[in-house]
Structure 1
Amino acid sequence: MEKFHSQRLYIPPFPFLLFLLQFSSLHLFSSAYNPPDKYFINCGSNQGVSTSRRSFVGDKNSGSVSFTKQNSISVENTNQSQNSNNSTLYNTARVFRQQSSYAFDINDVGNSTNYLVRLHFLVFPSTVDLSSAVFDVSASGFLLLHNFTAKNNTNTPLVKEFYLPINANKKFRIYFTPLESSLAFVNAIEFFPAPPVNFSLGEAIKVGQQQGQKTGSSSVFQTVYRINVGGQEIESNDEIIWRNWDTDDKFLISKGNSKESQFYSNPPNYLSEDGEYVAPALVYQTAREMDVNASGGSNITWGFNVNKSAGHLVRFHFCDIISVSLGVIVFNLYINGNFSKAIDPTDNSTLLATPFHYDFSVGSHGSDVMNIGIGLSKKTTENNAFLNGLEILEIKRGLALTPVENEESGNKKTKAPIVIGSAIGGFALLCILVVGFFKLRRRKMKPVENSSWGQVPPYVGGGSSHSRIADPTINGSPLPNLHLGLKIPFAEIQLATKNFNSKLIIGKGGFGNVYKGTLVNGTKVAVKRSAPGSGQGLPEFQTEITILSKIRHRHLVSLIGYCDERSEMILVYEFVEKGTLRDHLYNPGLPRLSWKQRLEICIGAANGLHYLHKGLSGGIIHRDVKSTNILLDKNHVAKVSDFGLSKSGPLDEFETHVSTNVKGTLGYLDPEYFRTQQLTEKSDVYSFGVVLLEVLCARPAIDTLLPREQMNLAEWAMKCKNKGLLEDIIDPSIKGQINPNSLRKFSETAEKCLQDDSGDRPAMSDVIWDLEFALQLQKMPVLRQPHEDSTVNSSSAFLRPNVEYLPSVSTTADNDDDNEYGLSNVCDFSEVSASEVFSLLKTDGAK
């Protein structure tokens, strides 16, 4: 935490020492920050609007601000008399039908590297339907708003606020990009050097997972919440830099254990002359404290809805206005239920009523609710805790494409550079062609293993047109060359998906949206696109290309191509018509799969996994086997997909010494792998065992709505099997279809897969054999004795088919299991495929 002392600074006589003082780790605020007088833009108007020390200039008359006029129109509120906002700022808007921008001159604004941007939106009645607007907003190469719509039920303005790093002495542009057949609009824009608030991830205390988090001045923040804890709402017109501070009442999880402190009438003891820009006096003159008598010492907790896939910077504002003397209160601060820091006001000042703050960098934790709490500490002489203010900012990760700006054709000053640039570009292209010709000729003269494989250019960074595929490593080993023949131009993918039309989305996952598309040659494809330029999932992206570029199998999804241009990460697969296995198990709108179909799907998926483990690829462990990663084509043929978490290499090395960060999906995760971090192919076998139970029971691997003992499908199903109650949890739609002998073999196979010790689990080849056996048993008639009542449910007991013989080829199954079916191990069929073995099966009445 920054510490500031109210003493006169001694200025050294040497410029170098002065430089060190200005840029020391204390990060002293720049002296006398002055509230800006520009830029405040009233969009779509030629009229100015004044409000609380701000003068919004109409964008039609602003000499230092320009917008792409040919792509925009201005609209007015046709019902201004009912404008409940009491501000003419929201009576006009600028509307864009295609990507357009506002450009700001910043070379005379100063050398601040952080700027504050506020965008104002209000849907009002006009000649254009603003409520239908869906668009993106980007600036400084970052995607600020994605699929944004300003429509809301309260008919109040939406103000979106961002802190951005911007280089001085250049134009700054804000881009508005309408989505497919839509429009974009904005009512007003504020853009000025940020006050000395010093938001920085590099100085924040880290909480939770921080993987992939940006640091330092390159971070972009969006204000999500700004709370005056224990006080009244502070409106923008009453604040020094026009920030809104909301009350905390609606975020309190329990109000009975807290109380609002009395208003502190004296001004706070700021440690810096610019301290009020961090938070105004009104924030520090009120607080919420514990009501110890009512709460019994329980924590005060607030809950906030957040983007669960994003990281956040959380700033806590403190000012001890409740203690009678210094050093009597020490309390604990909690984030998401975990202890984060002990708060002792004396660590920051020797005076009461002195503002200070702490910043925390909170990684995404898979929940859309962030809990903030304060509670008692054992290190205190007075049982109390307090909080004055709170700010939560989302860390923006999405990079955005920056279009090349074309100057007006009438600008003669640009003609010469354009001509020169064209000449230089043409000469450079000629040189590249010549060099490429000689390289190609040299390559043809040299013997190579595969001339179609080449080195992919290294990832350069956001906004670059270069490849995102990095040279260094994937999974700790050098990234092999990638098949350049698989690269598909971004423009072709845009065309195939109609510019990523939201109507073509067929799935969503952790990586991004999946679109249905059609390539120019008529091939139907599935296009999986990461959030543009996010940088998240890059290792998975690289791994999937590496894995899929060297495997082909009927039961594995094929990679058609990929795109890594302009900060994009896009994978293009064969289109698998019927979607995921999970959809066909749970979606009531889809036809129910028969038991025979389910067995065939499981056998297909097992074959795909067996090929990964033992095929020509040299050994691949999938690591994320689950029902959503098994797709079904138009004939219900199973295809294993999603290889982003896969590990490749000789399997004997995995089994002996390879430890790895545990990755997978809760409910499918191999408990031995979780405990030991030792990865083997048997981890996939365990996950597949859970899938088998999903297929049988048609319920999720984890269902938190069920009683605790039933939440985990693997544990619950095995308990039911051991008690002879497995039939009670079978999918009701197939109960009457299952041959009891097929059910028995199927359930035994699942049980073997789910053994705690990986050494007790079968190989995938044995799983295939057992499932083929269960399928053949399903095709057999169930023979009954004459005295049996034909009305009795055939699944009430396991009955024995009339089988001549069938040898067991399983290397892990107990031979006694097969003997229970009346089989005898007559000869060795270890070299015979399962289908060939079953062709020798002779059963009376078998189809």
Structure 2
Amino acid sequence: MVNLNKNKSSKISLSCLLLLFLQHLFSIGADNYNLYHAVEDLAINCGAIGNSTSDLDQTRRTWIGDNNSNDQFTLIEHEKDSVSASATQVNPSVKQVPYYTARLSFSEFTYSFRVTDGQKFIRLHFFPATYGYFDRSNSLFSVKAGFYTLLKDFNASAISEESFFREYCINVGQARSLNITFTPTLTHKLDSYAFINGIELVSMPTNLYYSKPGGEELKLVGHGNSFPIMNNTALETVYRINVGGSPISSEKDTGMYRYWDIDDSFLEKKYEHSLPAVYGSDLRPKYEIIPSYTAPDDVYLTARSYGMNATTNYNVTWNFKVDTKFIYMVRLHFCELELTLTEANQRVFQIFVADMLAEKRADVILWTGYNLVPYYKDYAILFDKSGSSKQLNLSIKLQPVQTRFAYDVILNGVEIFKVSDIGTGNLAGVNPEPRQSPPQSLVPPTKPPKRSKVTTVVATVAGAGSGIIVLSFICFLIFRRTTLASDNNRNSKLRHIPLAPSKSSQSYGSSLPSDLCRYFSLAQITAATYNFDEVLVIGVGGFGKVYKGYIDENNTPVAIKRLKSGSQQGAHEFKTEIEMLSQLRHLHLVSLVGYCNDENEMILVYDFMARGTLRDHLYDSDNKPLSWKQRLEICLGAAQGLHYLHTGAKHSIIHRDIKTTNILIDEKWVAKVSDFGLSKIGPTGMSQSHISTVVKGSIGYLDPEYYKRQRLTHKSDVYSFGVVLLEVLCARPPLLLSMDKHQASLVEWARGCHKNGEIDRMVDPFLRGTIVPQCLNRYIDTAFNCLLEDGNQRLSMNDVVWGLEFTMQLQESIEGGLEVVNKREEIALLKNSVNDVEENDVLFMSTDELSTRSKTSKMTTER
């Protein structure tokens, strides 16, 4: 009996223990089911000895002192003079770890981390106090993380008198190492120093903020296209906001130690009925679309939702100050918290970002399918780089859309990131004016560190050396004047092309006006392309590679074409392109910004064409297919550019290499003819109809007459453009692979389709059913009349322009049910009555303008 009771008691005890254990597991799962477990979770307490437990949060996280030996990072001191010091002034509101100690130096120092590859958070912690001899007002330095400039000429005391941190996102490559370098700005004053209190390096989930390869990209608001956040860019967290809720400290984040601020100070207006929608802890978000670590539950369980039955048409706006001249990523978090909303079209609202319409009809239920399901939308914002303002307002505005329901807007969270410049990796923004230094009486004296002795010696020698410096400067001026005189004589043949003296400069003896052609040094080009980094390559051809870069203090994007060195023919084409493009200015011709001719490098700098080549939008690309109207406008623009080359320039020019990869498209979808390396001045005399020259050009586009007889004419460009017209219609390359794997001409294939009455077979499947038949027939006639075997029978580029204009008129007029008038025939009648207008001017007049001029001329004649 005793044993029975004892066994029964044991079973009860075990049951109770098991129940408690299950409750414990459940509580852990409830709190941590959505945590992300970082591969790297490294926290450095700079200037400290030994490990410390952080009092920043309740996680009892360990911070490693940087005076300790550690296999995860190394402190590299370039002049071995950095010091560890504790803050002189104690601020009770500042947490002890990691802010009471710092690493400080008058010279550069680096933390080198050994980490896995992938995307990381970097957090830099600062407490701008006075540390012994290091006066807080003298901190002025820059910070780089690998290629990226995080801070430049940064004065922490100008930011705050308390502790603060800056957060960044970067991608670590296969090298699996990351250097964070602190460099004092000694150009401002000799006692400038750099310092850091704490560094965090924390892994983040792949593609949490970066675009997934092949996935959805950010919507570029106001521009109608997308923008990817690639691994070759870095981000700075500018704002992270829990809308309608309380601050969320780092230990309550989802394992990445992010801090979420409140939105009160950013709201433009607060309404009496604008209470946050805070719901009980018994509700949990249902993570069915996005990962559970995207944001803490508290972000999605609080929101701003203004008046659930409001009938007034108001909006709610948040305002955020940001630096100009950067692209920004804006992430808006949503979660429908009103449990009575179960269908789409119940809460519909518009979203404006930076005063531009981002969403015409935002509907969280439509996006998610249910309430309590978190979701986010990402947008990219590009501010105008031409303004002089250092900071602008990035606003987020929600405006209700009236439906049969009375519900209005909702927003749960906001994240705003600054995106680094692609060419320079710069993230450094505007620094506030430095704060005044504290009175010296409050700074206790201490033994100066090693670098202060150097500073003292420099100050002592400065006065004695000033006379030597002045004397040296005078000698330099005399020497420079003599050298310049010698250079002027030596380079007198080059004064029209400002080819800078270099190790291999060549005298081209050109007569180009110097104000139309800008010279770049190789150092400038190298900086603009980050030493010709492969990630910046936007095109490759037989000539070499094309890089995207930024010039003029990173304000101007450009395309930089680096020609292959060592080729005499390349040097000739380099010279030809400079000569041609420096004299040509037309809306539909790409503009040459400048060139570089240093150290055997031949580099051309052009305006950047944001949408790439015409071929990029026709086939073998992931780009969305162009509409028929877009294709017509691009062809018409390119034809107008060629017509200008043939008849409008000072000398008639034959391009000689017309193809879809040499027709570029800018951000506004304007076509521009490019690549004039093979161009030739056209026939100059009345008796001369062609130029005899070696055949040059691209296979598939070559004029058969030119190929057989080596006689180059303007009609050779017309033939090549006819091939382009077929490419645009058919979305096929100029050389096709036949069934027996031999190359066949697109021209011959298209002629066969036309002869057999299979016109629909010629048309890009994407366009079928969208082209008016009369328009299609006129377009095909124009193309085949460019491709006639006898060059004399081909259209002129002037005829091509008219043909394409009439084709566009046919499409637009028949679509709109209007009567079609052949504009060319009408203008031919009108221009006969215009007495004082040149033939070429008439070609570019509108019908209305010609009609007015005709009436005026007629009235003058009658008088």
Q: TM-score, normalised by structure 2?
A: 0.45
Q: TM-score, normalised by structure 1?
A: 0.46
The structure with the larger Rg is 2
